[in-house]
Amino acid sequence: MAVITTGKTFANGEQLSASKLNQVISGATFNSSDAVDGSTMTIIGGAMAVNTIAAAQIGTDAVETVKIKDANVTKAKIENVADYKVLGNVSGGAAAPSEVAILDEDTMSSNSAISLATQQSIKAYVDANSGTVLQRTRVSSTAQSQPTAVMNADDTIPLVSEGTQILSTSFTPTSTSNKIEVKFHGLLCHSTSGGIQVVALFEGSTCKGAQWIKQSSTGTAISALEFEFTPSSTDAATYSLRYGPTSGTANVNRDGASTFTLGGLSEISMTVTEVKP
């Protein structure tokens, strides 16, 4: 059949008129089934449409986002990405995606602010650096003394005004996420059997740790104490150890009767260490 069927058929010798000519057009019908072949052309919504469009027939920038069906851009349709790369944006603002590097560095040596790290390299770095000593300082004294300034042994936190300072040092932490370890070694004892003495560690005027010791009998007690805390800031601070009896007389680097110096080698010491947890 014809694609268009006229609305009027004329016989040979028939007289023409305006109404008959108009009827040819106004009465014409469109035979859509004969207008397409179902292959290169088809009918969509009653209108003819191209069934297959070649790439050359699509204009540049002609396909809009809204014309792409949701969840229909497959991974195979995205350009190949180089090894150890992902698509992302590290420009600091809105931008088209670009390749972002994935680094496999156990030491994190490149220190990149725009790259990713592998799970293995993160684990290796953490395993290797946990407990890393960042800085350490040690102070000591060979002085011998017998302090009498009282430090109370009760349920309250020791005060920086109590007892006698026996060691101190200035220390500047690098991060409040790290830990500070303080170790004390030396000879501390009370002059009286059953006498109680207190050792307290201070960061500035804030007590960070304390321990009380009861003298079991007159004589020398070899003392080793350790404290750990989180620094309050990264400002320089004075870390100090204060010591004193609850009553009576205490002894530093000596006992109640003996004052051996071992040629000047006998000492008390405090070691301050900053470690990465």
Instruction: Quick: pLDDT tens for 39-48.
Output: 566 666 666 5
Q: What are phi and psi of 190, to 5 degrees?
A: -95, 150
Domain identity same for 191 and 252: yes
Residue 230: both structure tokens together: 């989180």
Domain identity same for 108 and 163: no
Range of the domain at 121: 85-129
- Please state, for a pLDDT cut of 70, what percent of the chain lies above it: 87
Residue 175, domain member (yes or no) = yes
How many structural domains is the chain composed of? Answer: 3
Final residue belonging to a domain, choices 129, 149, 184? 129
Residue 245, domain member (yes or no) = yes
Domain identity same for 162 and 259: yes
Final residue belonging to a domain, choices 95, 112, 129? 129
Residue 193, domain member (yes or no) = yes
Judge contact between 206 and 276, C-beta under 8 A: no
- The amino acid at 266: S
Residue 269, domain member (yes or no) = yes
- Please state, for a pLDDT cut of 90, what percent of the chain lies above it: 52
Domain identity same for 44 and 173: no
Instruction: Quick: pLDDT tens for 199-252.
Output: 999 999 999 999 998 887 655 577 899 999 999 999 999 999 999 999 999 999
Euclidean distance between CA atoms 208 and 158, whole angstroms: 9
Domain identity same for 118 and 12: no
